[in-house]
A and B are shown apart, each in its own frame.
Chain A
Amino acid sequence: QVQLVQSGAEVKKPGASVKVSCKASGYIFTGYYIHWVRQAPGQGLEWMGWINPNSGGTNYAQKFQGRVTMTRDTSISTAYMELSRVTSDDTAVYYCARDLVYSTSSPFDYWGQGTLVTVSS
């Protein structure tokens, strides 16, 4: 069965970087885009960008340009999202999610369990 398993919770100081991993199983990793979505406490969903695990190509939301880097390691079917220069506004649960179909225009049918990132001095 398809699973996306994310790394554990992180606590970071303002100005630091955080890197979250998303290990895929149960399907061909390079066959579907991986998206990253975050959710601040008590708030809605915010899309951060996607990575094409096949090519490594990325598309980031303008809000995060220059601060976010999405990468992947196909040998271990894992995607990564690194966010730099974090502030308290970046405190949120970060989700990875898989496309329903291999396309830049597809909804998300499988989600990771979420990784809580807390930014606090």
Chain B
Amino acid sequence: EIVLTQSPGTLSLSPGERATLSCRASQSVSSTYLAWYQQKPGQAPRLLIHGASSRATGIPDRFSGSGSGTDFTLTISRLEPEDFAVYYCQQYGSSPITFGQGTRLEIK
């Protein structure tokens, strides 16, 4: 099983700042099979990024993904008020599909 470890656990930033979230895998993940999701309280997760760097339909270009192998990053270039949420990475290339434990992005 591929274990995904996200850091930091909580990130406190202000609107307009840049956010950098990390996801590290216990073994190599083909970059084709790494996704990022956003989840707000009481809502289902929303797909942001797939294939490590491809934005899902309708996702603003302030969200970008990068990385390969075991280290992946989600960057939000300029935080908007609606971006404060929990973010999860996911690998979907090998079974079982696994998620990171999440990074909470909170308003400073």
Chain A residues in the interface with B (C-beta under 8 A)? 35, 44-47, 59, 61-63, 95, 97, 100, 104-109, 111-114
Contacts and interface: CB of A to CB of B under 8 A. Distances in A.
Given A62-B96, A63-B96, 20 more contacts: A35-B97, A44-B101, A45-B37, A45-B88, A45-B102, A47-B96, A47-B97, A95-B45, A100-B56, A105-B32, A107-B56, A107-B90, A108-B35, A108-B45, A109-B56, A111-B44, A111-B45, A112-B44, A113-B44, A114-B44
Contacts of B32: 105
Nearest to B45: A111
B93 interface: yes
A100 B50 contact: yes
Contacts, number: 54
A95 to B, nearest CB: 6
B47 to A, nearest CB: 5
A110 to B, nearest CB: 9
Nearest to B35: A107
B25 to A, nearest CB: 15
Interface of B: 32-33, 35, 37, 39, 44-47, 50, 56-57, 88, 90, 92-93, 95-102
A114 B39 CA distance: 13
Contacts of A109: 47, 56-57
A59 B35 contact: no
A111 B35 CA distance: 15
Contact of A47 (B39, B56, B98, B100): B98
Given A45-B99, A47-B99, A61-B96, A100 B47 contact: yes
B96 A108 contact: no
Contacts of B45: 45, 95, 108, 111
A33 to B, nearest CB: 11
B17 to A, nearest CB: 25
A2 B15 CA distance: 32
Contacts of B44: 95, 97, 111-114
